[in-house]
Amino acid sequence: MAKLGFIGLGIMGKPMAGHLLAAGHTVHVYDVVPESVKELAAKGAVAGSNSKEVAQKSDIIIIMVPDTPDVEAVLFGKDGVAEGVKRGSIVVDMSSVSPIATKEFAKKLAAMGVKMLDAPVSGGQVGAQNATLSIMVGGEPEVFAQIKPYFELMGKNIVHIGGNGDGQTCKVANQIVVAETIMAISEALLFASKAGADPGKVREALLGGFAQSRILDVHGKRMIERTFAPGFRIRHQQKDLNLALQGARALGMSLPGASIAQELLNAVAAEGDIDLDHSAMVLALEKLANHKVSG
C-alpha cells in the first residue's frame, strides 16, 4: 500500500485527508496551522513538521492549499516538496490555481523524475465531508489510472480531462458557471421578494422546473434563511474568477457575466464580508434594490 502525504488541512483538506485515513492508508500530514495537524494525528495520521518531511516519507503527495503562490511555496519554497521528494513519486495538486502555472510546475517536477496531476475539486465543504466531490483531472492517463482509487475515496464524479493544466482549466470553467448561477438566483429571488411573492415558495416552484439547480437548492435556501457561514468563501470565489478573467484576456475574449459577478463579490468584500459564503453575493444586489430576499 502506498504511503500518502497530504499538505493543506483547511475546511476542504482536513475531511479529504480524513477519508484516506478512514480507508486504512498511512497518511503523512502537514499544515501551517498546527491544530489541524494535531487533530488528524489524533485520528491516526503521521504529523510532519514541513512539506519536505512529508515528501520524504510519501510516495504520493496531495496538496490542497488556497492559491497559486501557496502551491508554488509548498512545491519549491524553503523546506518544500522539491527538497524531499523521491524520483518516481507522484504529486497531486487538488487546489484551484492557475492552469498556466500548473503546466510550469509539472515541467519542473518532470525534470526531477516526478509525475504530477492537477485535480481541482467542486462541491465545497459539504462535498469534502461527504466524499461526494467532483474531481477534474489533468495529467498522463496512466498516472490518473494509478491515482483514481484514492480519488474515489474523496469524490464521486471523477473525470480525466486531458493533459497537465486541463483539470485547472475545467475548474475555472466550473467557477464561471457557479458565480453566474449564484448571480442569477440572487436576482430572481430578490425580484420575486420585492414584487411581493414569497421567495421560499418561488424557490420551491423553480426547483421543479427547468431552472432547477444544485445552487438554487443549496444557496437559494441560504439567501432566504440568511445563513452565510462559509462553505466556500467569497475570497476564494474572487480568486477563481480572477483566473477566469486573466485567462480570458490572454485568449483575447470577453467574459461579461463573470466580470459582473466579480464586481458584486468585490462590493460584498468591501463591506468587510470577504469570508462569508459566496452565496452572500446576494447582499450586494440587495443593497442596490434596498430590499432583502427574506423580505
Longest dimension (CA), the chain: 65
Smallest CA-to-CA distance from 242 within 123, 104, 69, 103 is with 69
Instruction: Report how far residue 270's alpha carbon sits from residue 235's, in angstroms, rounded to the nearest whole number.
Output: 11
Instruction: Report how far residue 56's alpha carbon sits from residue 53's, in angstroms, rounded to the nearest whole number.
Output: 5
Beta-carbon contacts of 126 under 8 Å, excluding residues fewer than 6 positions away, are 132, 218, 231
Q: Which residue has the cell 466580470?
A: 259
Instruction: Report how far residue 262's alpha carbon sits from residue 16's, in angstroms, rounded to the nearest whole number.
Output: 28
Catalytic residue among 14, 148, 171, 194: 171
Is 201 part of the annotated catalytic residue set? no
Smallest CA-to-CA distance from 263 within 180, 188, 198, 196 is with 180
Dihedral (C-alpha) 52, 121, 282, 185: value to the nearest 10 degrees? Answer: 180
Residues with active-site annotation: 171
